[in-house]
Chain A
Amino acid sequence: KAGVTQTPRYLIKTRGQQVTLSCSPISGHRSVSWYQQTPGQGLQFLFEYFSETQRNKGNFPGRFSGRQFSNSRSEMNVSTLELGDSALYLCASSLPADYGYTFGSGTRLTVV
Chain B
Amino acid sequence: QQPVQSPQAVILREGEDAVINCSSSKALYSVHWYRQKHGEAPVFLMILLKGGEQKGHDKISASFNEKKQQSSLYLTASQLSYSGTYFCGTGGGADGLTFGKGTHLIIQP
Contacts and interface: CB of A to CB of B under 8 A. Distances in A.
B64 interface: no
Question: Chain B's interface: helix, strand, loop or mixed, by majority?
Answer: strand
Interface residues on B, range: 20 to 34
Interface residues of A, number: 27
B94 A100 contact: no
Contact of B96 (A58, A102, A103, A106): A58
Contact of A90 (B42, B56, B89): B42
Contact of B94 (A42, A43, A50, A105): A50
A100 B55 contact: yes
A45 B87 CA distance: 14
A18 interface: no
A43 B101 CA distance: 8
A38 B42 CA distance: 13
A45 B93 contact: no
Given A103-B42, A105-B40, A105-B41, A45 B55 contact: no
Nearest to A41: B101
26 contacts: A33-B97, A35-B96, A35-B99, A42-B100, A43-B87, A43-B97, A45-B96, A45-B98, A55-B94, A90-B41, A90-B42, A97-B30, A97-B94, A98-B47, A99-B47, A99-B55, A100-B44, A100-B45, A100-B46, A100-B55, A101-B92, A103-B34, A103-B43, A103-B44, A104-B41, A105-B41
